[in-house]
Amino acid sequence: MNSRVKKALIQTLLAMADDELILAHRDSEWTGHAPILEEDIAFANIAQDEMGHAIIWYSLYADLTGENPDSLVFFREAAAYRNIQLVELPKGDWAFSMLRQYLFDAAEMVRLEQLVQSQYPPLAHVAAKIRKEEMYHYRHTSTWIRRLGLGTEESHRRTQKALDTLWPYTFQLFTPLPNEPFLSEAGIVPESAQLHATWAKVVLPFLKGSGLIVPETCTPIIVQRDQHTEHLSSLLLEMQEVARSDPQAQW
Amino acid sequence: MSDTQWPRFEVFLQAAEGEPHQYVGSVHAPDAEMALLNARDVFVRRPHCVSLWVVPADHILAKTAQELAEKGWEEVETPTQTQTASYCVFQKREHRGTLIYVGIVNAQTPAQALRRAVELFTKHPSLVWWVFPVRLVTQSNIEERESLFEPALDKPYKQPTYYRTSAQIHQIKLTKRLPEESL
């Protein structure tokens, strides 16, 4: 692997790991607070899966850079994180979290479907395993969105409001990292533009079928992943508090 | 029973090919599909699973051996249709055990199905009998087995004591003078 491809791959792995980690944290905030007991268990399970995926991507990253994943997670500042803004937004109401998870799950599904054919064997191998869990996530959240969208006046109103808020952030899911062409030419990752189109073919009819209206005019958020909202630093403050209380501790 | 509860579904789990489904508990859900997904998260963690069934609790005819012996339970229903349907039959044979699938009977009403089941499945004495129409079973698909059931195998359950953090936390409290409420 030449050094440009390797550098690009390292950046991509970190981005994927950070997305899963931050999303897992937001999902876990529902533990003990979900509207239904069964859903509390289900969503905690999904959060656990996402955390597992983060660990997998961090370990692939560590294989290439030698860095310690725990240091990356607990001692990086917000500016050094490379997740998209969609996942750092506060959890909101149940409709908001379900819809955010749905939009992310759909993107993961289309991405993983391509990654199982990656020319970088560790990626392909890992993608096959993760894909099983993502298929279940997609089934779970899509089942919810359909019911929320077509349910009562209140569930519909809250879900539509969530969609209006979230839709601009979905563009960043497919904003390519600066060196993506090196990776897609080498057959290591799929092209973002193509993923976006595939994702839209799944998501647009589904949202419409759930009685929801996708905003026609919006300002897409297509900034690079080093740009964050103010929400990330308060999230990290909480997540990193114990580790930072004694950086020398052995856990 | 609260009116704000969603309908209850009873959950049956098949641990391996060739083994009968067993009753594992219930979930509340708005409909059968949601019940199946929730059943997967509530019940498929430590046990192995290849198939899940969920059935609306309202449509299960349940009788204990004692209730069966009393007269009058059969005359409750009059058949409104003459069509025959298939019914699943479950038995509970031990006090400490659970209900286990024994087979199918055909009948025109649940009560008739139960009577036939009692006549047919005589191999073991039974403490409790459940029958319900096969058409009311929502089951997991074979194609979904991988995504529904395999991920749980990689997530071994850990007791809280597995994480030995109390000594470390105590140390932090001493050196950093954190508030006394425990972390």
pLDDT digits (tens, 9 = 90+) for A206-230: 999 999 999 999 999 999 999 999 9
pLDDT of residue A241: 93
Element of type H or E holding B172: helix B166-176
Residues of chain B where predicted confidence (pLDDT) is lower than 70: 1-3, 72, 75-82, 176-183
Quick one: CA dihedral A3, A5, A10, A15, positive or negative?
A: positive
pLDDT of residue B156: 75
Distance (Å, whole) CA B125 – CA B117? 12
Distance (Å, whole) CA A73 – CA A66? 14
Per-residue pLDDT band at A102 (split at 50, 70, 90) = very high
Residue whose structure tokens are 């069509």: B83
Contact A245 B176 (CB under 8 A): yes
The neighbouring-strand residues paired with B15 are none
Distance (Å, whole) CA A175 – CA A180? 10
Say yes or no: B78 contacts chain A, CB-CB below 8 A.
Answer: no
Q: Is residue A102 within 8 Å of residue A142, measured between CB atoms?
A: yes
Mean per-residue pLDDT of chain A: 96
Residues of A in contact with B154 (CB under 8 A): 52
Q: Is residue A93 within 8 Å of residue A154, measured between CB atoms?
A: no
Contact B37 A139 (CB under 8 A): yes
CA distances from A127 to A14, A56, A108, A198 (A): 15, 10, 10, 18
Residues of B in contact with A37 (CB under 8 A): 28
Distance (Å, whole) CA B13 – CA A66? 44
Contact B147 A42 (CB under 8 A): no
Residues of A in contact with B171 (CB under 8 A): 246, 249
Query: Residues 39-58, chain B: which have Cβ within 8 Å of A?
Result: 40-42
Three-class secondary structure of residue B91 per DSSP: strand
DSSP secondary structure code for residue B21 in this structure: P
Nearest CA in chain A to B144: A136
Nearest CA in chain A to B177: A245
Number of Cα atoms under 13 Å in the Cβ half of residue B77: 15
Residue whose structure tokens are 């109103």: A157
Q: For A250, left (φ over 0), alpha (ψ -120 to 50), or beta?
A: beta
Distance (Å, whole) CA B23 – CA B132? 13
Nearest CA in chain B to A44: B41
Low-confidence winner among A79-93, A139-153, B115-129 (lowest mean pLDDT)? B115-129
pLDDT in tens, B72-96: 677 555 666 668 999 999 999 999 9
pTM listed for this prediction: 0.90
pLDDT in tens, B132-149: 999 999 999 888 888 888
pLDDT of residue B127: 95
Query: Residues 95-124, chain A: which have Cβ within 8 Å of B?
Result: none
pLDDT in tens, A171-210: 999 999 989 999 999 999 999 999 999 999 999 999 999 9
pLDDT of residue B159: 81
Contact A135 B171 (CB under 8 A): no
Look at residues B113, B144, B145 and name the one whose alpha carbon lies nearest to residue B129. B113
